[in-house]
């Protein structure tokens, strides 16, 4: 994979992290779900999106997946950007990508099972899938 693809993947991971942070902030009431910088199709639906956080699918590691995802995506972006700089071995982002796909399958199953359509969740899972596909 070229350096440019690693940096593009890192930027996509940062976008995913920003969306996770937005989701968590709306859920916790730190910010409103409507902002000029958030496209309307990405906005958190307070009636449906936040309902998943309170389910068993919303807390894999004991804390909100959105909070865990924010931290993870920042670390993921760092590892992706670190490969071309020689800070990180190329296999680490690939392993993290496999991990994201496995977690995404479980979380998407949860969305389907709960019949929740959450645009932010779908976009973040799609970004993770794109990042993984770029790596293989």
DSSP codes of every residue in 12-70: HHHHHHHHHHHHHHHHHTSS-S--TTS-GGG---TTTGGGGTTSGGG-SSSS-HHHHHH
Q: What angle do CA 16, 21, 24 make, to 5 degrees?
A: 125
More confident of the two residues 132 and 44 = 132
* 95, pLDDT greater than 70: yes
19-33, 66-80, 108-122: the lowest-pLDDT one:
19-33
Minimal CA–CA distance to 131: which of 59, 72, 63, 51?
72
What CATH number labels 3-33+43-135? Answer: 1.20.1440.130
Nearest to 43 by CA among 67, 56, 25, 59: 25
**Rounded Cα gap, residues 99 and 114, in angstroms:** 23
pLDDT of amino acid 46: 67
Give the distance from CA 53 to its chain's centroid: 14
Contact 51, 113 (CB under 8 A): no
What pLDDT digit, counting tens, does each position of 14-65 carry?
A: 999 999 998 888 888 887 777 776 666 666 766 677 778 888 888 888 888 9
Which structure tokens are listed for 100? 């994201």
Residue 89 pLDDT exceeds 90? yes
Kindly tell me if the per-residue pLDDT of 84 is higher than 90.
Answer: yes
């Amino acid at each position: 994979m070229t350096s440019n693809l690693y940096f593009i993947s890192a930027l996509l991971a940062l976008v995913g992290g920003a969306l996770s942070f937005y989701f968590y902030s709306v859920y916790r009431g730190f910010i409103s779900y409507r902002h000029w910088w958030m496209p309307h199709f990405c906005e958190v639906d307070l009636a449906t999106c936040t309902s998943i956080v309170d389910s068993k699918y919303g807390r894999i590691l004991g804390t909100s997946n959105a909070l865990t995802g924010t931290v993870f995506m920042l670390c993921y972006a760092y590892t992706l950007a670190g490969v071309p700089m020689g800070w990180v071995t190329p296999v680490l982002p690939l392993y993290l990508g496999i991990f994201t796909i496995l977690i995404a399958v479980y979380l998407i199953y949860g969305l389907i099972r709960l019949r929740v359509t959450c645009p932010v969740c779908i976009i973040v899972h799609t970004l993770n899938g794109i990042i993984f596909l770029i790596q293989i």
